[in-house]
Structure 1
């Protein structure tokens, strides 16, 4: 009879151990899942900042590389960093956007059900890449904006 009791205790112990391990593994899985589904850090566009913009793809008016200074929510200085950027700054200086305007274009593309309207964000929440394509099968309606060297505040 002692042997039957010992067997039952061992079986129960193993079952508890296995159940505990399964519960721990499941809990780890949930933690990983929630980390993947967490939303990005909210970002508030500051009144003043500088950034570098590289705009490419398609035949959109804004093509080229730029170093942009924003004060009080408006572009106050734009320097073309390549031939396309220099031409655009000379011909259409008002076409150079703030990051907020780029995000506005992203949101408009989403409202218009564009085939692609995606962004990648830095740890602080500001966008580092925006990809737009209004119609997948249309030619030259795409836009790609790469944002780098972002520096908030007065510089």
Structure 2
């Protein structure tokens, strides 16, 4: 464990040094790099192991839940698959969405990955597309009410603030 930690230590400082050698120390972009800061944050995270373990467990719970969602959706669509197929679809879909973080809500990315993986695992294109739409529908079903309730709470808070300002004026 300590050997792996020693190898990974100061990764960003090493990258900063490589950038300085490649582009020169007087380069404006290189001058803005502070490799020690992310390394310090990583070391701080490593010292809070209980929080790190909890975060990993939450991520694992999300992956398991998503896998069960894919498995159940495909079973209800009349195309049962082994659990490991569902795990492959869910994990690679999440990976693709994380890589394409610049695409809002992964629109199109998630659907393309589900279509490709579904066909690679022997599913019909219609079943793959239906699965992609089921996954998107879940996001809409839970996301829209959550956003609306958040706006409602913020509107109430704003109105209370306006009422207090009117009383104080």
- TM-score band, normalised by the shorter chain? under 0.3
> Greater relative contact order (Cα 8 A, min sep 6): structure 1 or 2?
1
If each structure's helix is expressed as a fraction of its own residues, which one has the higher value? 2
TM-score, reference length from structure 1 = 0.23
Determine which structure has more spread, i.e. the larger CA radius of gyration: 1
If each structure's strand is expressed as a fraction of its own residues, which one has the higher value? 1
